[in-house]
Amino acid sequence: MKLRPFIDDVASQADDILAGITDRAEARSSIGEFVALEHPRFSPADRKAITDGVMAILENEGFFGERFVDSFDADQNADDDAAEDSR
């Protein structure tokens, strides 16, 4: 079965499903519960695949904010801010 339409559908509802949730583990759990309620006929493996697909989309869209900050970039930004302050 092609799960992509279901992944896209759940991902499009993520703002509502995850209102106020920023923790990845909590988000994964909430999405899993939503998928189980909305698609009870799917096998556990299919529900996991949908949940994994939705989480991947959310990560790629930056739903959870910045995943990491490169220390070089952070230092670079600090230097830029100092240069602007001295103008």
- Residue-wise pLDDT for 46-70, tens only, equals 999 999 999 999 999 888 875 444 4
Dihedral, CA of residue 35, residue 38, residue 41 and residue 43, to nearest 10: 0
- Average pLDDT for the chain: 82
List of residues 6+ apart from 32 with CB closer than 8 A: 47, 48, 51
**Number of folded domains in the chain?**
1
- Cα-based distances in Å from 74 to 15, 58, 61, 69, 87: 29, 24, 21, 7, 21
Q: In terms of C-beta density within 10 A (0-12 exposed, 13-18 middle, 19 or more buried), how is residue 51 classed?
A: buried
Percent of the chain topping pLDDT 70: 75
Structural domain including 62 reads 4-85
Task: Over range 25-52, report the average pLDDT.
Answer: 96
